[in-house]
Structure 1
Amino acid sequence: MTELALSVREATWAPRRRDPLLLEATSFDLSKGQVMGIVGPNGAGKTTLLRMIYGYHRPLSGDILVGGESVRQMAPRALARKVAAVLQEQPSDFALTVGEIVALGRVPHRLGFSTPGERDGEIIEAAMARMDLHRLAHRSLSTLSGGERQRVMVARALAQEPELLVLDEPTNHLDIRHQLEVLDLIRELDLTIVTSLHDLNLAADVCDRILMLKNGQPQGYGTPQEVLCANRVSDTFQVKAQREELSLSGKAHLTFQLS
């Protein structure tokens, strides 16, 4: 039987119990090692769902299980050992160096104010090397570009050694080279990954499963081929979508026009 890394069960969310739901009842299972993309127009509920998965929001109703454990029952430190998140907006005013920020990824694994573990240095070095950050190790975060800050935060998340990695629009602020590097990272990491993406063709290329949202309501969940059909994309994004087969790669490609 395939081991589930993430199970979302009829989860809903609103700022307060009497407020309109920003995410209506949503359910899906994600197997260990799979990459799941969340797609939908602005305001669809993508970031709300991600915040629930990494514990910033608690479900108003329903539940979210990470590795079989309910996020409702986990203390923040325990959840941070299982789930790492890289957000769209990165801080620019940290009075810390790149190396120090990446090292923060090891904090959830320490007890109280204990000193770093024996493997911490090795893990931090590997994360920085993976994101090509050694030349920036002693730079302050405030001196970096948006793309460089994004790479620092991905490295910090990798240093957490999570079971589940949450990426909110991970290619934002990145130039083409580093976009491709992050996408290669998504493909290569031995991790379960949940990511929101605006680019549907990109999502189809890197994701095993797709969840499509519109106005906080799930529109479909399954493989990219199942979910990213022209009719569903057209309805969800209010465009005229066409699905074309690329003869050289054998892959499908979506094109769009205003409806």
Structure 2
Amino acid sequence: MTQDPHALLAFRDVTFGYSPNRPPVLARVNFSLRAGRVLAIVGPNGAGKTTLLALALGWLRPWQGDVLLAGRALRDYRRAERGRWLALVPQSEHTPFDYTALEYVLMGRAPHLPPLGLPGPADYEIAMDALARAGIAALAHRPVPQLSGGERQLMLLARAIAQQPRLMLLDEPTAHLDLHNKARLIQIMRHLRAQGMTLVMTNHEPDVVLAVADDVLLMEAGRPPVFGLLDEVFTEDTLSRVYRLPIRLVEANGRKQVVWT
């Protein structure tokens, strides 16, 4: 496959599994994502979406093939260097201590600090700005255990923003959010893209994908993933096949929406 010289993240014939005695979870995955775009990874449970994120973060190594970041093999990046390039917004995260939301968001500054270095005034300013952008600045001094599930999700997003990465990966970012905060998250993602950040998200909600994605990687157990522009990949036929439901795309108020029966 011809390499895209403008790709920020690329998978080249990536195959990975968790046991040599079982079929691989991902087989010969190929795609190239350019900077400043939003990629949605969609597919049913068990298709390997979260595994793909772990490979993109360098937490897992492919059995075969390469993951490239800005044209360079991800395995060649040092851990701290990866932290300045990549940030993750997980679905959830265990918090063993009663950090405040601000203290937790400040952890996103770690890749920018020297070993054993402490955050300074500029780091606090960046963290407070990230909380404000996530819409939870008023919760800065509230202990994390006192936050709701949706507030914690926005706090994890704020930590990733404070990290100032070039590529942000989000694992089911709308899973714990009510409708108001879901709309807020979509606005934040659009704003980050407008500022030049590249985003990769897994998502089970087609309406969120339609609202924010430029590109789609459609994953389906037993089939090679399909990568392409949103309008080319996110079609009634492919969605109906992947989710095994009759699915229609209808337009309302100038926006496409998913209807299933």
The reply to whether TM is greater than 0.5 is yes
Whether 2:258 is the aligned partner of 1:254: answer: yes
Gaps spanning 5+ residues in structure 1: where? none
Whether 2:40 is the aligned partner of 1:37: answer: yes
Could you tell me which residue of structure 1 aligns to residue 237 of structure 2? 231
Paired with 1:221 and 1:138, the residues of 2 have a C-alpha distance of 42
CA shift, 1:159, in A, is: 0.7
Paired with 1:109 and 1:52, the residues of 2 have a C-alpha distance of 23
The 3-state SS of whatever aligns with 1:150 is: helix
Gaps spanning 5+ residues in structure 2: where? none
CA shift, 1:17, in A, is: 3.6
Paired with 2:208 and 2:221, the residues of 1 have a C-alpha distance of 22
CA shift, 1:211, in A, is: 0.5
CA shift, 1:43, in A, is: 0.8
Whether 2:59 is the aligned partner of 1:56: answer: yes
Paired with 1:118 and 1:94, the residues of 2 have a C-alpha distance of 23
Query: Structure 1-normalised TM-score?
Result: 0.92
The 3-state SS of whatever aligns with 1:62 is: strand
Paired with 2:97 and 2:155, the residues of 1 have a C-alpha distance of 12
Whether 2:212 is the aligned partner of 1:206: answer: yes
Could you tell me which residue of structure 1 aligns to residue 201 of structure 2? 195
Could you tell me which residue of structure 1 aligns to residue 100 of structure 2? 97
Structure 1 stretch displaced more, 49-58 or 191-200: 49-58
Identify if the C-alpha distance between structure 1 residues 42 and 192 changes in structure 2 by more than 3 Å, giving closer, same or farther. Answer: same
CA shift, 1:217, in A, is: 3.9
Query: CA offsets per residue over residues 109-167 of structure 1, 9 Å max, x none?
Result: 11211233563222112111111222212221111111111111111101110000000
Query: CA offsets per residue over residues 58-95 of structure 1, 9 Å max, x none?
Result: 22211111222221112222111100001112224432
Paired with 1:77 and 1:17, the residues of 2 have a C-alpha distance of 31
Whether 2:143 is the aligned partner of 1:140: answer: yes
Identify if the C-alpha distance between structure 1 residues 73 and 204 changes in structure 2 by more than 3 Å, giving closer, same or farther. Answer: same
Paired with 2:211 and 2:167, the residues of 1 have a C-alpha distance of 20
CA shift, 1:173, in A, is: 1.0
The 3-state SS of whatever aligns with 1:77 is: helix
* 1:168 alignment partner, one of 171, 176, 188: 171
Structure 1 stretch displaced more, 109-118 or 159-168: 109-118
CA shift, 1:201, in A, is: 2.8
Could you tell me which residue of structure 2 aligns to residue 67 of structure 1? 70
**Equivalent pairs: percent with the same residue?**
36
Aligned length: 255
Could you tell me which residue of structure 2 aligns to residue 76 of structure 1? 79
User: Is residue 106–residue 119 contact of structure 2 (8 Å, CA) maintained in 1?
Assistant: no
Query: Structure 2-normalised TM-score?
Result: 0.91
Report the aligned-residue RMSD.
Answer: 1.8
Identify if the C-alpha distance between structure 1 residues 216 and 165 changes in structure 2 by more than 3 Å, giving closer, same or farther. Answer: farther
The 3-state SS of whatever aligns with 2:200 is: strand
CA shift, 1:56, in A, is: 2.0
Identify if the C-alpha distance between structure 1 residues 110 and 92 changes in structure 2 by more than 3 Å, giving closer, same or farther. Answer: closer
Whether 2:175 is the aligned partner of 1:177: answer: no
The 3-state SS of whatever aligns with 1:167 is: strand
Paired with 2:241 and 2:43, the residues of 1 have a C-alpha distance of 11
User: Which amino acid in the other structure matches residue 75 of structure 1?
Assistant: R
User: Which amino acid in the other structure matches residue 254 of structure 1?
Assistant: V
